[in-house]
Amino acid sequence: MSDLQSLRAAIGSFRDDGLSIALVPTMGALHAGHMALIEEAKRRADRVVASIFVNPRQFAPNEDLDAYPRKEKADAAMLEEAGCALLWLPDVAAMYPAGFATNVSVSGVTDGLDGAARPGHFDGVATVVSKLFNQVRPDVALFGEKDYQQLAVIRRMAIDLDMGLEVLGVPTQREEDGLALSSRNAYLSPEEREAARALPRALGDAARAIAGGGDVAEALAKAVASLEKAGFGPIDYISLNDAETLAPMKTLARPARLLAAARMGRTRLIDNLPIEPSQ
Ligand code: PAF
């Protein structure tokens, strides 16, 4: 469905029947990570709405908007098979009609990490996600923890703007060798794909060292060295941050997240792991 009037009618009829609604926003090229969101959404609400919209406002001019994989037919079949009640597929003109002039910008949690590496990215995300929330009016919306900073931004925005819905994070789905599932993994050559498993390994090693009381700076430096050795570069960041505010941490004093972004060839990969301080 791609026009707002039909979407509103369909949502209205779910509401008339007293049904709760979960929204899974995506940019398509669906994989098992997205399907885990759909499965969790089915547990959380009576009807699941998925959206597919490759949002131009969250890509910088030098990024992969044009190359971003588009597989709408296969995606629609996967969603139907999984029991998704409705697919919302707006086009760019429907999402951003002529004269569109609003920007949603969240500060604080966007200060570092991808907020610094991809200026404007989270404004694009917050703006489109606000629109999706207003269009679908879900009770709960689900996002993957692989995009951990994005999840933090959307949580902050939903609280700050009294959006009245639950924002739920779902753990990252991984390949057997640990690589986080991502639509962008499709860009990797077989050699790059093999080398990319160094990313979850480096994060895992650093997370274990830090959780075991090791020096944070030393663990991060080791992780950088092992990523470089595997062929990653440039490394945008590998950083220990507060799990909620995303403020950088030099020691493990509170629940934390270890986050990384690095390039393997032309593919930018991100990943993160939780770290809890011992009692
Ligand atoms: O994570 C994504 O796929 C996108 O950033 C989202 C949340 C659908 C907004 O365009």
Classified by CATH at the fold level, domain 183-274 comes out as Pantoate--beta-alanine Ligase; Chain: A,domain 2 (3.30.1300)
Q: Which sequence positions are flagged as catalytic?
A: 34
Per-residue pLDDT tens digits for 43-99: 999 999 999 999 999 999 999 999 999 999 999 999 999 999 999 999 999 999 999
Residues 116-122: contacts with CB under 8 Å, at least 24 apart: 116/237, 117/236, 117/237, 117/261, 118/60, 118/63, 119/60, 120/58, 120/60, 121/58, 121/59, 121/60, 122/58, 122/149, 122/150, 122/153
C-beta 25 within 6 A of ligand 1: yes
**Quick check: pTM over 0.95?**
yes
Per-residue pLDDT tens digits for 191-234: 999 999 999 999 999 999 999 999 999 999 999 999 999 999 99
C-beta 58 within 6 A of ligand 1: yes
The residues near 194 (Cβ < 8 Å, ≥ 6 apart) are none
Under CATH, domain 4-170 is a member of which superfamily? HUPs (3.40.50.620)
CA 143 / ligand 1 centre spacing (Å) = 8
CATH 3.40.50.620 region(s) of the chain? Answer: 4-170
CATH 3.30.1300.10 region(s) of the chain? Answer: 183-274
CA 168 / ligand 1 centre spacing (Å) = 14
Protein residue with its CA nearest to atom 9 in ligand 1: 125
Protein residue with its CA nearest to atom 6 in ligand 1: 26
Protein residue with its CA nearest to atom 2 in ligand 1: 26
